[in-house]
């Protein structure tokens, strides 16, 4: 950023940048001719085109978000609960151990990767990205063309005088009419119109033609294949971040099983989650045996058990009184077997592999858990998120 700042203000670099423009201006001045169209083209190339491209880039992120929300994945983004249900359902169907590890240990990255995949799917279909750009271009070019026509008249509706001085008034008026849409560089304007000898009316007509040519040129550029990932990552408004904020909770994790809070934003009294996990999946293990802890925190908070950690200063503390240590968390006792079947099934299926991943020993899972089927796990997930078939 520092180098870019200095470069943009280095006189030698800027002079070199506009050398071809200055050369043409010098030739016109020497020959005592004024190429009105060339000046209009220069104004469009140096002032209007960069502003138009910035305008499209500024709106494209929001356009992509709207496209995803109305596309094939619209149902998933209809609510935070439905998104959480779908991502965990997909993990169950995929049956890939590392995907579970990533979801548990790197939840934010996992969700963002999935969202980005949804964006790529939407933007790859039927040249959707090109169409969004073209739609934005069509709207802004019409606004600029209309502004140019309006700017050629004074407040009384009478055409500006056909002299060189009126060109400055024309562009000043354009800035006023377009202030909510684009910002035209004054420095680039001075360069483009340096030593202009034309008068206002011919310049305006040349400007309209140049705008039409710019429109065709950009439309052609948009129609060419491009790297969607690179384009999306360069946008000032990142659609993946906007979508992520809709489905991601506040970012806090359960102090026991590390399941993320599903409440949106920052304004909620208590952190909560629909489905808690066996604590071993959150890397919790027995002090003496080094076995992964198989119990769920929702079960433990209704038991006579105790826990110890850095938050308790290493002292044993009753689970039933966890709220004294973690007053911001709401962990209701688990009275239903089915609601927790999902993560019980996962721990049973990958018990040895989680132990290896966490450098621990396998958990002593109850025999009853071993009879849970994938269908029961999915039904438990549906019940937890209140999903109706």
Burial class of residue 64, CB neighbours in 10 A (0-12, 13-18, 19+): buried
Distance (Å, rounded) from C-alpha 229 to C-alpha 76?
Answer: 22
Q: Does residue 284 sit in the same domain as residue 163?
A: no
| Token pair 């491009």: residue | 226
Structure tokens at 311: 């938050």
Euclidean distance between CA atoms 152 and 168, whole angstroms: 11
pLDDT digits (tens, 9 = 90+) for 213-265: 999 999 999 988 788 999 999 999 999 988 988 888 777 889 998 888 888 76
Question: Residue 62: inside a domain, yes or no?
Answer: yes
What domain count does the chain have? Answer: 2
Do 259 and 341 fall into the same domain?
yes
**Residue bearing tokens 């496209």:** 67
Residue numbers of the domain that contains 322: 250-384
Q: State whether residue 253 is helix, strand or coil.
A: strand
User: Is there a single domain that holds both residue 190 and residue 277?
Assistant: no
- Shared domain for 210 and 159, answered yes or no, is yes
End position of a domain, from candidates 203, 233, 263: 233
Contact 257, 279 (CB under 8 A): yes
151 lies in the same domain as 192: yes
Confidence of residue 312 (pLDDT cuts 50, 70, 90): very high
Residues facing 271 on adjacent strands: 329
Express each pLDDT in 51-68 by its tens digit: 999 999 999 999 999 999
Token pair 């200063």: residue: 313
| Cα maximum dimension of the chain | 98
The pLDDT score that the predictor gives to residue 34 is: 59
**Whole-model pTM above 0.95?**
no
Question: Tokens 């409440």 label which residue?
Answer: 263
In the block, tokens 């180098």 appear at 3
pLDDT confidence of residue 323: 93
Answer yes or no: is 282 within a domain: yes
Within a domain: 24: no
Residues 6 or more apart whose Cβ sits within 8 Å of residue 154: 160
Task: Say what angle helices 239-247 and 107-124 make with each other, to 10 degrees.
Answer: 130
Whether residue 330 sits in one domain with residue 181: no
Selected residue with higher pLDDT from 356 and 6: 356
- What is the rounded CA–CA span in Å between residue 111 and residue 116? 9
What pLDDT, on a 0 to 100 scale, did the predictor assign at position 15?
80
pLDDT of residue 179: 93
Please report whether residue 51 resides in a domain.
yes
The CA-atom distances, in angstroms, between 345 and each of 181, 274, 278, 376, 386 are 55, 16, 10, 9, 19
Q: Looking at the structure, do residues 276 and 337 belong to the same domain, yes or no?
A: yes
Same domain, 336 and 257: yes
Shared domain for 197 and 277, answered yes or no, is no
Residues forming beta bridges with residue 318, ordered by sequence position: 306
- Residue 86 counted as domain residue: no
Q: Is residue 18 part of a domain?
A: no
Q: Point out the domain boundary residue: 233, 260, 278.
A: 233
The pLDDT value recorded for residue 367 is 92
Q: Are 265 and 201 in the same domain?
A: no
Mean pLDDT, to the nearest integer, of 90-116? 91
347 shares its domain with 306: yes
Reported confidence tier of residue 376, pLDDT bands at 50, 70, 90: very high
- 193 and 325 assigned to the same domain: no
Higher pLDDT, 207 or 26: 207
Q: 91 phi and psi, to 5 degrees?
A: -60, -40
Confidence of residue 38 (pLDDT cuts 50, 70, 90): confident
Give me the percent of the chain exceeding a pLDDT of 70: 95
Q: Which segment of 1-10, 15-24, 203-212, 281-290 scores lowest on mean pLDDT?
A: 15-24
Nearest to 352 by CA among 365, 340, 339: 365
Evaluate whether residue 108 is within a structural domain: no
Could you tell me if residue 7 is inside a domain? no
**Partner residues linked to 336 by β-bridges:** none
Average pLDDT on 127-148 reads 95
DSSP secondary structure letters along 346-357: HHHHTHHHHHHH
Helix axes 239-247, 49-69, angle to 10 degrees: 30
């Amino acid at each position: 950023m520092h180098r870019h700042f200095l470069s943009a203000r280095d006189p030698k670099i800027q002079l070199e940048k506009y050398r071809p423009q200055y050369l043409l201006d010098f030739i016109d001045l020497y020959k005592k001719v004024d190429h009105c169209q060339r000046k209009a083209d220069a104004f469009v190339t140096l002032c209007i085109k960069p502003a138009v491209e910035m305008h499209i880039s500024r709106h494209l992120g929001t356009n992509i978000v709207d496209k995803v929300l109305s596309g094939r994945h619209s149902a998933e983004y209809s609510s935070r609960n439905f998104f959480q249900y779908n991502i965990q359902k997909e993990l169950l169907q995929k049956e890939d151990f590392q995907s579970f590890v990533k979801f548990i240990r790197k939840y934010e990255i996992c969700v963002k990767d999935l969202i980005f995949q949804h964006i790529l799917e939407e933007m790859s279909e039927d040249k959707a990205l090109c169409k969004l750009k073209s739609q934005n271009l069509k709207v802004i070019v019409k606004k600029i063309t209309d502004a140019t026509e309006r700017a050629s008249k004074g407040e009384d509706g009478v055409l500006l005088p056909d002299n060189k001085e009126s060109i400055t008034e024309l562009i000043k008026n354009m800035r006023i009419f377009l202030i909510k849409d684009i910002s035209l560089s004054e420095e680039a304007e001075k360069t483009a119109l340096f030593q202009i000898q034309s008068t206002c009316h011919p310049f305006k007509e040349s400007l309209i033609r140049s705008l039409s040519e710019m429109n065709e040129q950009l439309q052609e550029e948009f129609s060419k294949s491009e790297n969607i990932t690179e384009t999306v990552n360069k946008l000032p408004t990142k659609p993946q971040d906007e979508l992520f904020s809709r489905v991601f909770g506040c970012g806090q994790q359960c102090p026991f099983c590390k399941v993320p809070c599903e409440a949106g934003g920052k304004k909620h009294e208590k952190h909560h989650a629909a489905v808690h996990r066996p604590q071993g999946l959150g890397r919790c293990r027995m002090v003496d045996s080094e076995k992964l802890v198989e119990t769920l925190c929702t079960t433990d908070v209704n038991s006579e058990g105790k826990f110890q950690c850095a938050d308790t200063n290493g002292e044993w503390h009753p689970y039933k009184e966890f709220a004294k240590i973690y007053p911001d968390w709401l962990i209701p006792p688990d009275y239903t077997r089915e609601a927790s079947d999902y993560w019980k099934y996962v721990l049973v299926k990958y018990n040895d592999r989680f132990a290896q991943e966490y450098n621990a020993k396998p958990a002593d899972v109850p025999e009853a858990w071993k009879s849970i089927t994938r269908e029961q796990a999915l039904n438990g997930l549906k019940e937890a998120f209140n999903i109706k078939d």
